[in-house]
Amino acid sequence: MKDLKQIHFLLMGTPELARDVFQSIHQAGYQIVGLVCQPDTLTGRDKTWTKPPTKIWAETNHIPVFQPEKIKEDHQFLNDLDVDYILTLAYGQIVPQRVLDKPRFGAFNFHGSLLPKYRGASPIRYALIHQEKETGMTLMKMVMAMDAGPIYAMKRLPILPEDNYTSLLQRFSGFTSQFALQVLPRLCRGELSPIAQIEKDVTFAPLIKKEDEHLNLNLSIDALMGWIKGLADVPGGFFQFQDKKLKVFQAAIVNRDQHHPVGTLIKVDHEGVHLQVIGGVLNLIQVQLEGKGKMLGAVFGNGHQQMLGYKLT
């Protein structure tokens, strides 16, 4: 076995979380032979090309960057790399077996859940949606089945009552960086033993789609709170008010009384916006009506008192 700092890692990841963790690994002195991330994207009204956060980091540190449109078809660049381990974190594509077979000692993935719970693309969101008390990060060996490989290490992270997706994702950054630096030396020294996932305990966290952003008034008050937290601050869940979306970024349970038709705005004034839902009343603390800016519910209510008695859908 090589000295730990001479082991060659190929990193695969795209968003800010991956960037922060990869930076910690690099700063710790590990040898990074390349980064694989998603292609640049067209963003904004002017459709400018935007680089993934990990690519910006890699270029700053003179690390070779590879951005295949479809890695299952385009992975010839691996032929020129000397790779001991592949490490992935939120890469965004299914990695084919030929790539998994490339490193000498295996391909491993940092997955943002306590596997076998929440396999899939949105584990952090679904932990909030399902009102879990904790989540965490799992280091698993990659296999062709999605997030199904054996577990090598796991670290738990409490979910705070005030957490939403944005705040929880921010806390994942330092937490995962610390976890990576703890487990990588043990992984490279062969000190971690694989544990098979228990298939009967598997749950899934599929990619959030556009239609999932429409908050469902057929859900209970607690389930709606989970969806509001899981979608905030980006993209933000919404109710429909006539022909406009009313996004809700923060809410609180006022009571568990139900005296009005579900969806009715029963209070809209300088004190706030209260919405009757199944099993209780929600106070919409931070909202945004389509075409307007984000604002506190009390400010919104003071300026939209004519909405009192209307129904959201």
> What is the domain partition of the chain in residue ranges?
4-201, 210-307
E-state strands within 195-279 = 237-241, 244-255, 265-269, 272-277
DSSP β-ladder status, 151-158 and 295-296: unpaired
pLDDT tens per residue, range 281-304: 999 999 999 999 999 999 999 999
Question: What pTM was computed for the model?
Answer: 0.94
Is pLDDT above 80 for 182? yes
Question: Which residues, other chains included, contact 293 with Cβ-Cβ below 8 Å and sequence gap of 6+?
Answer: none
Average pLDDT value over all residues in the chain = 96
pLDDT of residue 47: 78
pLDDT of residue 196: 98
Is pLDDT above 60 for 1? no
Distances (CA, A) of 18 to 25, 106, 121, 169, 172: 11, 19, 14, 11, 10
Distances (CA, A) of 218 to 3, 252, 276, 278: 58, 18, 12, 7
Is pLDDT above 90 for 43? no
Q: Within 13 A of 12's CA, how many CA atoms are on the CB side?
A: 25
Q: Within 13 A of 170's CA, how many CA atoms are on the CB side?
A: 9
pLDDT tens per residue, range 242-285: 999 999 999 999 999 999 999 999 999 999 999 999 999 999 99
Cα 196 from Cα 148, distance rounded (Å): 9
pLDDT of residue 58: 98
Question: Which residues, other chains included, contact 236 with Cβ-Cβ below 8 Å and sequence gap of 6+?
Answer: 213, 247, 248, 249, 288
Query: Which two structure tokens, joined as six digits, stand for 13?
Result: 């990841």
Characterise 129 by phi-psi region: left (phi > 0), alpha (psi -120 to 50), beta (else): alpha
Residue 238 · residue 246 · CB < 8 Å? yes
In one-letter notation, the amino acid at residue 136 is G
Rounded mean pLDDT, 212-239: 98
Q: Which one, of 186, 208, 97, 101, lies nearest residue 139 by Cα?
A: 186
Cα 157 from Cα 162, distance rounded (Å): 14
Identify the CATH homologous superfamily for domain 4-201. Formyl transferase, N-terminal domain (3.40.50.170)
pLDDT of residue 6: 86
Name 31's bridge partners. 8
Q: How large is the C-alpha radius of gyration of the chain?
A: 22
Q: Which one, of 252, 225, 228, lies nearest residue 238 by Cα?
A: 228
- Is the CATH code 3.30.870.10 the one for domain 210-307? no
Rounded mean pLDDT, 1-14: 86
Q: How confident is the model at residue 115 (pLDDT cuts 50, 70, 90)?
A: very high
Cα 19 from Cα 12, distance rounded (Å): 10
Cα 285 from Cα 139, distance rounded (Å): 37
Rounded mean pLDDT, 98-109: 97
Is pLDDT above 80 for 2? no
